[in-house]
Amino acid sequence: RYESFTDTHSSLFLSLFAHEVVFVVACFDNGQTEAQIEFDAQEILYVDFERQEFVYTVPKFVMLDPSKMFVDISDYDDAKRGKRLCSAVVTYCTAAEKNLPEEKDPPESILYPAEDVQLGVENKLICFVNHFYPPSINVSWTKNGDPVSEGVSLSRYFPNSDGTFHQFSTLTFTPSEGDVYSCTVEHSALETPKTSIWEPEFRRQSHGPDVCCAVGLTLGLLGVAAGTFLICIV
């Protein structure tokens, strides 16, 4: 079970433009709590409760030090207060809904390589899972039908504007001819697991034009040699 509550600041002005900053606290009935701050619907940081600090997710090319820009709203005490409220929020919502089954949205998934595929060159396969609710999925990988765990990573949950979530799972691999990879997603809204399959395709270099040019050049040289021989005889 998952519940969330937000604190919205729509009157924040940065660079003479109005922006919306939303502080989101997600509460799970297993005791887990997640908190993050969104800037114009994009996550800029999340709270690491174990290390008791903010982790900024703003790319460096956007700003070198986001902590200076968001110093006024990055208050860890707010996150701790939100975490303490989680238990009460989940208990209240459960009682209010009288344990009715919550709405569920099944995930969509797509499997693709991070870079152009080259034979024998290390790459990453990305399994992008999107539009699912509640935010709890299981992702597993196989190579040629065998389970794979080495080189696998799973991102955190990221919220969508419609209340659903998306998440990434990646597999580091070195492509070889004939290999077949699969990504399987399990979710409570799916009757059966959903599997996406991917096979590497390599661009084969054609030597046809090169061969034709070489043959043409050889015939041309032979023609020149034959002409020279005939001139000498005359």
What would the mean pLDDT of 201-212 be, rounded to a whole number?
A: 55
Q: Out of 97, 124, 159, pick the residue that ends a domain.
A: 97
Please tell me the pTM assigned to this model. 0.59
pLDDT of 113 higher than 80? yes
What would the mean pLDDT of 150-155 be, rounded to a whole number?
A: 91
Give residue 101's pLDDT: 66
For residue 181, what is the domain's CATH number?
2.60.40.10
Which is nearest to 73 in space by CA: 19, 26, 124, 29?
Answer: 19
E strand residue ranges, the chain: 2-14, 17-28, 33-39, 42-48, 53-56, 108-113, 123-132, 137-143, 146-148, 152-154, 158-159, 165-173, 181-187, 194-198
What would the mean pLDDT of 111-125 be, rounded to a whole number?
A: 92
- Are 74 and 155 contained in the same domain? no
Rounded to the nearest integer, the mean pLDDT of the chain is 75
Q: Out of 97, 129, 159, pick the residue that ends a domain.
A: 97
| Burial track 93-112 (b if 16+ CB lie within 10 A, e otherwise) | beeeeeeeeeeebebebebe
- What is the distance in angstroms between the CA of the first residue and the CA of the last residue of the chain? 101
- Are 118 and 190 contained in the same domain? yes
31: left (phi over 0), alpha (psi -120 to 50) or beta: left
Domain that holds residue 144: 108-198
> In total, how many domains does the chain have?
2
- Are 83 and 123 contained in the same domain? no
- Are 115 and 31 contained in the same domain? no
Q: Out of 97, 120, 149, pick the residue that ends a domain.
A: 97
Residue type for position 77: D
What would the mean pLDDT of 56-69 be, rounded to a whole number?
A: 62
- Are 6 and 91 contained in the same domain? yes
- Are 93 and 112 contained in the same domain? no
> Whole-angstrom Cα distance, residue 93 to residue 176?
51
pLDDT of 173 higher than 50? yes
For residue 8, what is the domain's CATH number?
3.10.320.10
What would the mean pLDDT of 92-104 be, rounded to a whole number?
A: 71
pLDDT of 213 higher than 50? no
pLDDT of 193 higher than 80? yes
DSSP lists the bridge partners of residue 108 as 130
Give residue 204's pLDDT: 58
pLDDT of 229 higher than 50? no
